[in-house]
Chain A
Amino acid sequence: MTTTERHPIRGAEAAAAAKQASPSTAPKKRKRISAAEKKRRRAGWLMITPSVIHVGLWTLIPVIATFYLSFTDYGIFAAPKWIWFDNYVEMFNDAVFMQSIGNTIWYTFWTVPVSMAVAVVVAVLLNQGLKLQKFYRTAFFLPQVTATVAIAMVWLWIFNPQYGLLNAMLETIGLPGQAWLVDPKWALPAVILVGAWQGIGIKMLIYIAALQNIDESLYEAASLDGASSIRKFFSITVPMLKPATFFVFIISIIGAFQVFDQIYVLTDGGPANATTMMTYEVYRSAFQEFRMGMASAQSVVLFAFLLFVTLISRRVTKEED
């Protein structure tokens, strides 16, 4: 699970957990430690050691190394050379990397609100106790469980300028077909469409769970006052969903910033860098140009963006408490 970008849960999960970090089985009074207690503690250490080693080796050390390498010139074959901020300076003067930051923000700006809006509407509709509820839920969630690479292959075919389904559909309703992924004007919107389409499921699920926690008596009272369904939606559902919305918003931004698989399959960052993303630039620097130092510096910038989002979310949640 180390190398996935679709697990959108991490940041916010962690924020929630940090709050409840207090131990449940804390010692009452530790004046004397009995033999049994000693044995227990040893068992605890034994149980956690493999995980500590694994996470230490494959996460902690790599993170530290990333920061170190970002200040070096390193091409794998010779030892890293310390060059202070040269990578950062070069990166911010690199038009392609700056474009990748712009593209990433633009992608996030469109996919997150669009799929959130669809998700909340679908969740509310799904929560009305329909018979086919399960089928609908499965349909909306399916793109989330299937691999992004596989799904992107299908979209690649749908977007095909010559034989694609999308152009065929557009022509039946009298609209001109487009070259989509090979047209610099349309490539990013096409990628955004795929991202928004795929991102609905998880958001919908979180909204459904949040809806089930809304106190039903609120709706009862509103019904007695003669409020319409639409009125109830805007006056009760929307405000009550505010914490869930905030949570979904944050994890979605974090997820969207790490888009990679569909870029790799659909466009390779092209045409003319129209769809390149920060993640894609990290990949290109490290594994096509073998500039490990530069790739590390770029990934530090990506990390800074995500950290910024997480910290803001922390602050806002704190203020609300």
Chain B
Amino acid sequence: MTLPTIKALAISEQVTVVPRKRWFHHAKGRQAALINVALTLGSITMLVPFLWMVLTSLKSPAELAQFPPTFFPQEWMFSNYAATLDAAPFGLYFRNSFVIATTHTLITVVLGSMAGYALARIYFKGREAIFLAFIAMLMIPTYTKIVPQFLLVKFMPLFGGNDILGQGGSGWLDTWWALIIPGGLSASAIFLFRQFYLSLPKDLEEAARIDGLGEFRIFSQIYTPLIKPAIATVGLLTFQESWNNFLWPLLVTTSSDLRVIQVGLAVFQQLDNTQWQYLMAGTTMATVPMVILFIFAQKYFIQGFTNAGIK
């Protein structure tokens, strides 16, 4: 069998997820109208904070000091955004968050897919033990590892002035290493990849092996292209979690140069005399990338959130 036929065969097996069924009884007439009203009211409740964020970011300080507040700005102050970038280096924070989230996504996709593939499709000694260990690690809450993670970073030998025993300096604290390495991979990503690779048919690898392909080529050229939707899903979830992450970057960085956008917001808010229009402009900048990403890649997000849950 040639590569294209193998691929075609696998695609015909419908490897992707969540069958979308049409619901049997469609609502009609008055009932549909009522449902629409209820859902519209609900949606407004969900969206008002976002709308309020954007509207506030476009008001003048004088207008924000009015009570009751105006809903739409009397004067649309688009200049607030430029002023926000002057007031705090949100551009830099934005870039830092972007670099970190992208790197986390790349590391997770490359290492996670390899590990998931090995767990799903290669038999080797100790595989079950490793898998069970990963499962156990999945259940560890963030707060049960955060103190030693911080200590590991602080006492990282031979970095940041530390000697070989990790004493004397600050280790990885306040460095890119701390921001990128510990959060680079998670047991849950490996687990998700394993599930996706397991769902693929076995005859592919047998055929490929008869053709004399090595294991890395089977992984990279046959199976991985078939789970592109899964890669998108895991990648997007990783990007989103990394972009939204707050506590870890808060703990391991102090200098403004390494600040991520969520921490930047918190620091900006804690300054005296909160400038709400600037804070909301910053918040809008921190939120918009995720909103856009979600709207355009909704399918993958939803697959990811539900699939991870249901399987």
Contacts and interface: CB of A to CB of B under 8 A. Distances in A.
Given A48-B114, A299-B146, A3 B141 contact: no
A146 B290 contact: yes
21 contacts: A1-B185, A4-B245, A10-B138, A13-B138, A23-B123, A48-B119, A50-B185, A54-B111, A62-B144, A62-B148, A135-B43, A138-B295, A141-B294, A158-B52, A165-B48, A202-B305, A206-B306, A209-B306, A292-B151, A302-B141, A303-B143
A216 B306 contact: no
Contacts of A186: none
Interface in A1-30: 1-7, 9-14, 16-18, 21, 23-27
Nearest to B22: A129
Given A61-B148, A66-B145, A282-B146, A212 B19 contact: yes
A205 B141 contact: no
A4 B242 CA distance: 8
Contacts of A261: 246-247
Given A25-B202, A130-B27, A287-B251, A139 B276 contact: no
B69 A165 contact: yes
Given A55-B185, A128-B35, A212-B19, 10 more contacts: A40-B215, A51-B115, A63-B137, A122-B42, A139-B42, A163-B69, A164-B69, A197-B46, A251-B309, A258-B143
A179 interface: no
A206 B310 contact: yes
Contacts of A16: 311
Interface string A48-85: 10111011011111110110010000001000000000
A16 to B, nearest CB: 6
A41 B146 contact: no
Given A41-B124, A61-B152, A62-B152, A142 B47 contact: yes
Contacts of B308: 9, 13
A110 interface: no
Contact of A163 (B64, B137, B219): B64
Contact of A147 (B39, B132, B243): B243
Interface residues of B, number: 130
Contact of B130 (A48, A130, A258): A48
Interface string B245-263: 1111001000000000010
A1 B189 contact: yes
Given A129-B27, A258-B142, A138 B298 contact: yes
Nearest to A258: B141
B88 interface: no
Contacts of A5: 141-143, 247
Interface stretch (B79-87, B225-233, B280-288): B280-288
A99 B205 CA distance: 57
A283 to B, nearest CB: 8
Contacts of A265: 266, 269
A197 B73 CA distance: 26
Interface in A117-131: 118, 122, 125-130
A126 B191 CA distance: 30
B139 A44 contact: no
B37 to A, nearest CB: 11
A12 B128 contact: no
A109 interface: no
Interface residues of A, number: 127
A6 to B, nearest CB: 7
A191 to B, nearest CB: 15
Nearest to B193: A51
Interface in B124-169: 124-125, 127-128, 130-152, 154
Given A17-B135, A63-B140, A4 B46 contact: no
A60 B123 contact: no
Contacts of A212: 18-21, 23
A250 to B, nearest CB: 11
B123 A41 contact: yes
A44 B124 contact: yes
A90 interface: no
B60 interface: no
Contacts of B16: none
Given A48-B119, A142-B294, A129 B189 contact: no
A148 B184 CA distance: 21
B104 A1 contact: yes
B242 to A, nearest CB: 7
A150 B262 contact: yes
Contacts of A200: 46
A27 B123 contact: yes
Contacts of B184: 54
Interface in A134-160: 134-151, 153-158, 160
A247 interface: yes
A9 B241 CA distance: 13
Contacts of B240: 145
A307 B141 CA distance: 10
A148 B246 contact: yes
A307 B308 CA distance: 20
A73 B186 CA distance: 30
Nearest to A171: B68
Contact of A58 (B135, B182, B215): B182
Contact of B149 (A26, A58, A127, A150): A58
A220 interface: yes
A150 B68 contact: no
